[in-house]
Amino acid sequence: MSIDRFVAQSIGRWKSQRSAHSLAFQHFEAVLSTIDILNVELDDSRVVELCKSYNINPEEVTSPFYMQWEGTTDWDDDQVTKGSTVLVPVPDRSDASKGKLLREQGYAEEMAAVGEYYFTDDGTFVLITSYDRASAEERIWFVNPNLRFRVSSIKTSEGTGVLTASFSSEVRSTSQTEDSTA
């Protein structure tokens, strides 16, 4: 798997079901959301700005993309969670199966972040992002072209304590393919 193919497979609208587990308290949270993933031009000003802030040569960038999401959680029926971010992959020059992923805004914290990604031999995308006091690991893989799974976990930066884990099943949302994937 390459990051270009992975991004290309991800482009589209996804209906997401997400379950979050609070491991210490054995609490469950259920979130339904819609996720849109769109291509972004290499010369888009947001891509250029991100490269500048991380001191990355824009020519090393490939397949930048934009993600937006909007969802509701069973923890608070009135609250709609929404957000968006631009993500910029920067593959390693020596090994295209891994690299950096720049983000305008992280999932776990509302700040810019840079993660390290790699692909396993069976095509799972693994992203590790370190924050000040925590680190997040995300594993994403395609079950078929219209279904992807995503497992995230957040642990303290000391490394041993995993705080929350979550699982998302994401079904491509288009009238033609919906029936055959779910």
Contact flag: residue 96 with its own copies (CB under 8 A):
no
Candidate ranges 47-55, 58-66, 104-112, 118-126; the one touching its own copies (CB under 8 A): 118-126
127 within 8 A of 105, measured Cβ to Cβ: no
C-alpha to C-alpha distance for 68 and 180, rounded to whole angstroms: 25
Burial 43-74 (b: 16+ CB within 10 A, else e): eeeebeebbeeeebeeeebbbbbbbebebbbe
Angle at 10 between CA 6 and CA 13, to 5 degrees: 180
Nearer to its own copies, 40 or 128 (CB): 128
Among 5, 28, 80, 111, binds its own copies (CB under 8 A): 28
Q: How far apart are CA 67 and CA 69, in angstroms?
A: 7
Report the residue from 4, 8, 19, 68 that binds its own copies according to the rule CB under 8 A: 19
Residue 153 interacting with its own copies (CB under 8 A): yes
In angstroms, give the least distance from the CB of 38 to its own copies: 23
Chain positions 38 to 77 lying near its own copies, rule: CB under 8 A, are 74
**CB 151, min distance to its own copies, A:** 6
Nearest alpha carbon to residue 30 among 80, 69, 72, 79 = 72
Would you tell me which residues interact with its own copies (CB under 8 A)?
A: 15, 17, 19, 21, 23-24, 26, 28, 30, 32, 74, 120-122, 124, 126, 137, 143-144, 147, 149, 151, 153, 155, 160-163, 165, 167, 169, 171, 180-182
